[in-house]
Structure 1
Amino acid sequence: MSTVHIDLPPPPISWEHLPPRASQDVTLRQWIPYWSTLQNLGYTLWPRTMPDENGQLIELAEPKLSPPTNCFEPSESESYVYFPMGYIGNGGPASARVQLAVDRALREVAIKTILSGSSELRVVEYLAKQRKEEHDPRDHTIPFLQLITTDHCTFAVMPYWSNGVPPFYAIGEPIEMLRQCLEGLAYYHQHRVAHCDISSGNVVMNFGGFYPGPSMDGGRFFTAPFRSKFPVQYAFIDFGTAVKFEEDTALTDVLYQATHHTMGFSAPEVVLGEPYNPFSADVYAVASVIINELNHSKHYHSRAEELLRENVPAFFELLGRMRAVEPRRRPSAEAALQELLHLVSVLSPDILELHGQGV
């Protein structure tokens, strides 16, 4: 990860006051002044619609590079993600403060604006520094390829990983997703970082292109194997509400006031607007992500949840404790991780491969 400072004029609208869901016209006007500067740094915004220096539109194609050896620390000669079922380029506007682009090797990246002096910037800079120094395999933060600092904001450049999580196929898949999420969360909490906005949209997966969607066979939808085709990794994104506490902070004694919550994922005390323990709330949110993805999989007649309940009921007992209404009854991220690891250690590998289609 590198950091570079450039002098840029302020945007038409202060990033702080730009509506998160600004219209496409407003968003384009906000970013167009930075198009040439970002291109000079190696990032082409909106490659499907904006011509390059020769007046030509970029034809998006799967990067002809080696698969990533380590998706969290990609090299210049590697793709950022896997394309197990073929390539489909994105490359268009994403949201008011996040835009998609391609680098010089035609690898897709996301560029996010982070307010100067914000808690988000402090967390991002801290996590990027820790990865550079520690290379800790427990760290499941989306890689920060470059931080482009200006007087009014920082542009954080990240590889584009998909946040469209395919339906679960085998019952080992939700178990592995929970393991990686808890591993990453325990790492954050060890460093006294609370994410504070974990949801399905903020957990991404290291693939690009197509994945098994609904396919019709006699009027029924099916899911299909996917995660077995490549080494799956999950990462957390969006540290817009994340907080970094002092290193000697006791995880059980913190109280924090929410500025944001996501219905369906946030803990009850967060939704109520009460002062809450953000570390405990993170644990609740991770369990909610797994439950949401299991429910999503049922739409494709995956039997992953059914088979899990039949063969590994302790998995749902753990999720239930992680989502306890009373925060102090929830395990810490590290305790939940250790319980899950013990649960897996006594399972037969054949059980983890169980799969099937519902009616």
Structure 2
Amino acid sequence: MYSERGRKALEVWGTTIPLRPEELDPREVWWHARYQRLKSRGYLLRPRYSPEWIPSWTTSNRDWAECEDGKRLRYGQVIDATRISDSKVVALKQIARAEHPYEVDIALYFSSEDLVFHPANRCVPIYDVLVLDDDEEFVIVVMPLLRPYDNPRFDTVGEAVECFRQLFEGLQFMHKHRVAHRDCMNKNIMLDPTRLYPESFHPMETDLNKDYNGHAKHLTRTQRPPKYYFIDFGISRRYDPSNTDPREVPIWGGDKEVPEFQNSNEPRDPFATDVFYIGNAIKMDFLREKRGFEFMKSLVADMIQADPAKRPKIDEVVARFDVIRQGLSWRKLRSRVADVDEDLFERIVRTATHWKRRIGFVARGVPAIPTPS
């Protein structure tokens, strides 16, 4: 294998050197170096990041790929940890203060006592903020462990309708408090899996159980309606109420289809861009990929218009969606969410199985639009 010096030299020249499973990559080294200090603050990282870590596959007959401590981080800025006080698994996020100077303040604002329990607040709650003594460049925020908003998959149209409602009302809540998210695309929308996964799951292989030895069992959104959250306020901005018409120079978020950012540096309305982000998320994940969401086409088309000035404000989006939602029949709401690439035979079989399960919910009076308590 290459020496560390040789590896770094080759990295400079753009060559990727594969690491052995027991080697931490540079992102992991950052967390490994702070293992003890995080532990002293009440947060325990997984064994892989402990100074005393001995790879489990070296003392057993298992392949490293079958061992939970063989998994690397997906995103170097975020790591899972166990809160020692109550054994709750949480997420820790590393934030560079100079690069994202407003992120912590905006996140804490929505986690303040006055706002955190508001039913329309869909900003990820912040449990704790850690500043480690040796490193003032970074701050670590502690959040709930979440999952992508579309994982597990939506079972019924009604489940998706409830998701849309929470997202629209959550964005409206942010805008009413003069905050533009500026990157509320689909990858920054998550769900709280606590009720969906009563026995939890492994934070790195989320389809596996927390013990890494079997499938993670979950219920449906109809049975256990989840809450959805916006995350990542790295490029968000909060405006003074007196600034009724803010403008921002384009800054790329995760969605590269934003029309006003194409070949332009002209300051634009960040609130209108937020409306595009949400509309385009629904377009990409539902109108393109799923069947049965034609009722959203008109509203989404208006939300993603090329001219930001022609897009509806979020208040109008919420009002129009409420009318759409009330006009959907119970049969439509309980219908199955099907992929566009399903063949006819597959669709018939799955639909028959779906309605067999749905009859039980109807008989028990379970709402077609499941709303979290």
TM-score > 0.5 by shorter chain: yes
Distance 1:291 1:43, change over 3 A: same
| SS class of match (1:169) | coil
CA displacement, residues 213-246 of structure 1 (integer Å, 9 cap, x when unaligned): xxxxxxxxxxx98322311211011111111111
The equivalent residue for 2:277 is 285
One-letter identity of the residue aligned with 1:33: A
The CA distance in 1 between the partners of 2:163 and 2:130, in whole Å, is 32
The CA distance in 1 between the partners of 2:108 and 2:96, in whole Å, is 12
The equivalent residue for 2:177 is 191
The CA distance in 2 between the partners of 1:267 and 1:90, in whole Å, is 38
- Which has the higher Rg, Structure 1 or Structure 2? 2
The equivalent residue for 1:97 is 77
* 2:350 matches 1:350: no
Give 1:145-184 correspondences, 5 Å limit. Answer: 145-150=127-132, 151-163=136-148, 165-166=150-151, 167-184=153-170
One-letter identity of the residue aligned with 1:162: R
The CA distance in 2 between the partners of 1:44 and 1:132, in whole Å, is 30
Residue 203 (structure 1) shift: 0.4
The CA distance in 1 between the partners of 2:242 and 2:273, in whole Å, is 20
Residue 133 (structure 1) shift: 5.0
Say which of 300, 303, 307 aligns to 1:326.
307
One-letter identity of the residue aligned with 1:119: Y
Quote the sequence identity (%): 22
| SS class of match (1:96) | coil
The equivalent residue for 1:336 is 317
* 2:221 matches 1:227: yes
One-letter identity of the residue aligned with 1:115: A
Normalised TM-score (structure 1):
0.69
Q: Does the 8 Å CA contact 2:157/2:337 hold for their aligned counterparts?
A: no
Residue 30 (structure 1) shift: 2.0
| SS class of match (2:291) | helix
Distance 1:239 1:316, change over 3 A: same
Q: Does the 8 Å CA contact 2:158/2:333 hold for their aligned counterparts?
A: yes
The CA distance in 1 between the partners of 2:115 and 2:179, in whole Å, is 17
Residue 89 (structure 1) shift: 10
Residue 114 (structure 1) shift: 2.2
Aligned residues: 280
Distance 1:342 1:288, change over 3 A: same
The equivalent residue for 2:104 is 121
Residue 323 (structure 1) shift: 0.7
CA displacement, residues 20-67 of structure 1 (integer Å, 9 cap, x when unaligned): xxx95211232233211111222112x1424598x7999xxxxxxxxx
| SS class of match (1:143) | coil
Q: Does the 8 Å CA contact 1:114/1:153 hold for their aligned counterparts?
A: yes
The equivalent residue for 1:140 is 122
The CA distance in 2 between the partners of 1:90 and 1:143, in whole Å, is 30
Give 1:1-359 correspondences, 5 Å limit. Answer: 25-45=25-45, 47-51=46-50, 93-104=73-84, 105-116=86-97, 118-129=101-112, 131-132=113-114, 135-150=117-132, 151-163=136-148, 165-166=150-151, 167-207=153-193, 209=201, 226-250=220-244, 253-264=245-256, 266-274=257-265, 275-294=267-286, 298=289, 305-309=290-294, 313=295, 315-355=296-336, 357=338, 358-359=342-343
| SS class of match (2:94) | strand
| SS class of match (1:108) | strand
Q: Does the 8 Å CA contact 2:107/2:123 hold for their aligned counterparts?
A: no
| SS class of match (1:228) | coil
The CA distance in 2 between the partners of 1:180 and 1:121, in whole Å, is 23
Distance 1:162 1:115, change over 3 A: same
Query: What runs of 5+ residues in structure 1 fail to find an aligned partner?
Result: 1-22, 59-87, 213-223, 299-304
Q: Does the 8 Å CA contact 1:261/1:270 hold for their aligned counterparts?
A: no
| SS class of match (1:226) | coil
| SS class of match (1:201) | helix
| SS class of match (1:135) | coil
Distance 1:89 1:337, change over 3 A: farther
Residue 91 (structure 1) shift: 8.3
One-letter identity of the residue aligned with 1:281: T
The CA distance in 1 between the partners of 2:51 and 2:33, in whole Å, is 15
Distance 1:200 1:119, change over 3 A: same
Residue 90 (structure 1) shift: 11
Residue 288 (structure 1) shift: 1.2
Normalised TM-score (structure 2):
0.67
The CA distance in 2 between the partners of 1:319 and 1:90, in whole Å, is 42
Q: Does the 8 Å CA contact 1:283/1:333 hold for their aligned counterparts?
A: yes
The CA distance in 1 between the partners of 2:69 and 2:174, in whole Å, is 32
Distance 1:281 1:27, change over 3 A: same
| SS class of match (1:227) | coil
Query: What runs of 5+ residues in structure 2 fail to find an aligned partner?
Result: 1-18, 57-67, 194-199, 209-217, 344-373
The CA distance in 2 between the partners of 1:34 and 1:284, in whole Å, is 39
The CA distance in 1 between the partners of 2:70 and 2:331, in whole Å, is 38
Relative to structure 2, which stretch is displaced further, 92-101 or 336-345? 92-101
Residue 109 (structure 1) shift: 1.6
The equivalent residue for 2:370 is none
Q: Does the 8 Å CA contact 1:115/1:121 hold for their aligned counterparts?
A: no
Q: Does the 8 Å CA contact 1:267/1:285 hold for their aligned counterparts?
A: yes
Q: Does the 8 Å CA contact 1:163/1:205 hold for their aligned counterparts?
A: yes
The CA distance in 2 between the partners of 1:90 and 1:157, in whole Å, is 24
